[in-house]
Amino acid sequence: MKKLVLMLCLCLGLATVGVVAGQAADAKSLYARCQGCHGADGSKAALGVGRPLKGLSAAEAAKALEGYKAKTFGGTKKALMEAQAANLSAEDIQALAQYISHF
C-alpha cells in the first residue's frame, strides 16, 4: 500500500514537471530578470565570474538554483545568486532549469 502511494506521488510530481516545462512563456518572463547578468541566451559569464548558463543541463541548473536557495552551493559571488534564488518556488526553479537547458 505504501509503495502504491509513493508511486502515485512520483507520477503526480512528474506530471507537474511536464506541465511546467510546457509553460515556456512563463519561464521566459521569469528569466527576464536574469538576463542582465547572464545574457538573453545564457552565453555571458555573469559579472565575469559565473560559468555561462549555456550548455548546462536542466538537472545541473536546477541543482545550482536549489543550492543557492538553500545556501549550500556557489563560488565567490554566491551571495548575489542566493538573493536571486531566495524567492523562487520549486516550480519556478524547474521552469527556469528547463528554459536554461534549451539555450
- List of residues contacting ligand HEC (CB under 6 A): 33-34, 36-38, 46-47, 49-51, 53, 61, 64-65, 74-78, 80-81, 84, 96
- b (16+ CB within 10 A) / e for 10-35: eeeeeeebeebbebeeebeebbeebe
Q: How near is the Cβ of 79 to ligand HEC at its closest, in Å? A: 8
Distances (CA, A) of 16 to 55, 79, 102: 24, 30, 19
Q: How near is the Cβ of 77 to ligand HEC at its closest, in Å? A: 4
Nearer CB in complex with ligand HEC: 22/36: 36
Nearer CB in complex with ligand HEC: 4/48: 48
Nearer CB in complex with ligand HEC: 37/90: 37
Q: Residue 100 has which C-alpha cell? A: 536554461
Q: How near is the Cβ of 21 to ligand HEC at its closest, in Å? A: 15
Confirm if 58 and 97 have CB atoms less than 8 A apart: yes
